[in-house]
Amino acid sequence: MFEQFVNGLLWQISVLVFIVGIVMRIFAMLRHGRRKDLAEARGSAFAGALWTNISRFKSRPEIAEKIRFQTISGYMFHLGLFALLLFAAPHIEFAKERILGFGWPAMPNWLFIISTQISLLGLLLLLLQRLMNPVTRLISRPDNYISIGLLFLVMLTGCWVYFQPDSGLAYIHLFTMELLMLYFPFSNLMHAFLFVSSRAYTGALFGLRGMKV
């Protein structure tokens, strides 16, 4: 019963909520638009948007030392997660069977283990930094901790399934993934889809004024 629910109705609902929720969030952002800029243009909005998107992958020198811990932890988590999502063999097989109809070469087992360890460690370090730093602890909301908890569960159950593929744990992993998909459009995890446009918007505003940010 649980397997049928997770593999059927809940999967369909979570995909629908995930896609519709993301589209609605993006549409709401685009509909909001921006106010007309009355200042005389002194630079290129496009160049400012492009520069800001590229430059923000590196911390500003003035604060790089102060945020080095979360910068390294953030890259550990995001790069490891990116590798797991796109190149873990079970994910490729899942995408081939249910979504795309084709696959691509998967990472070897040793690289899966390394990517998992790096990503999980990065996630835990980010949580530790959030809890121990008085500033981040003060501005943190329940959403931040729910997102971290769901991501951790998805990755943890994914590891179980990878090394015990015939144990029935695949449905537990899929269930946690569906919970994450249902929560995703209403959480701060939307930055995965919005960070480029957010950086571009800020960069374009300053670019028109001939300033770099």
Q: Compute how many other C-beta atoms are within 10 angstroms of the C-beta atom of residue 55.
A: 14
* CA 207 from centre of chain: 27
For the record, the structure tokens of 163 come out as 């090394």
pLDDT < 50 positions in the chain:
none
Query: Which tens digit of pLDDT belongs to each residue from 146-205?
Result: 999 999 999 999 888 888 776 678 889 999 999 999 999 999 999 998 888 888 878 877
Answer whether CATH 1.20.950.20 is correct for domain 2-32+61-193: yes
